[in-house]
Amino acid sequence: MIVTIDGPAGSGKSTIAALLVERKGFAHIDTGAIYRIIGYIFHNGPTKDDIDRLKIDFKIVNSAVLLEYNGKNMEKYIRSEDIGKLASNVAKLDFVRHYVNALSRKIVNSSSNKNFVIDGRDAGEVIFPNADLKFFLVADINERAKRRAKETDGDVEKIKLQIFQRDEEDTKRDLAPLIQPKDAVVIDTTNKSIDEVYSIVNKMVDNV
């Protein structure tokens, strides 16, 4: 089974994806981690030839998708804020996005007996248009700002402005904009607890 969860920043995508991993044994494809690895490898930005030659390997161990480069597990190298900025830069390149999307599909196709969840901006529309279930999470911007502030101990108003700017960028950019798939189940998480949202997702997963 393939489940996609798309939506704007702070809507709860990664939280619900993590619960599907924890409670139902789904394997989680973290496309952000792939972009981070590419940013880590090519600090000055890759060329198309660099990406054509790039080989990121993977292993699926229980519910974990482990990403490797040159035989090294990359997790401990890629989670800094600096690498996050590099990842954002490389994600704007169409040939990089094609690579990440193709690798995501390759991971799924490598295992015929595993359920996968992928969260992002265009997972259900572009990466896995034939997913078994597609969810699109939304939430009021004030609520999303509060959630992020709680996670980071940041200023709510400052974070609200950042989220607004991110929303504008995500929905209006030419390459891989935030898209609500026509066949997605839309869940407004504004006034729902995590367990309430997960309950909706879980029931639908069980009924597939």
The reply to whether 17 falls in a domain is yes
Confidence of residue 148 (pLDDT cuts 50, 70, 90): confident
pLDDT of residue 172: 86
pLDDT of residue 56: 98
User: pLDDT tens across 2-35, in order?
Assistant: 999 999 988 999 899 999 999 999 999 999 899 9
pLDDT of residue 57: 97
Which structural domain, as residue segments, surrounds residue 185? 2-198
The reply to whether 208 falls in a domain is no
The reply to whether 204 falls in a domain is no
Q: How many domains does the chain have?
A: 1
Give the pairing type, strands 116-120 and 27-29. parallel
CATH code, domain with 193? 3.40.50.300
pLDDT of residue 107: 97
pLDDT of residue 36: 93
- Asked if 4 contacts 124 with a C-beta cutoff of 8 angstroms, the reply is yes
Specify the pTM.
0.88
Q: Is the per-residue pLDDT at 73 higher than 90?
A: yes
Q: Is the per-residue pLDDT at 97 higher than 90?
A: yes
The reply to whether 207 falls in a domain is no
Confidence of residue 171 (pLDDT cuts 50, 70, 90): confident
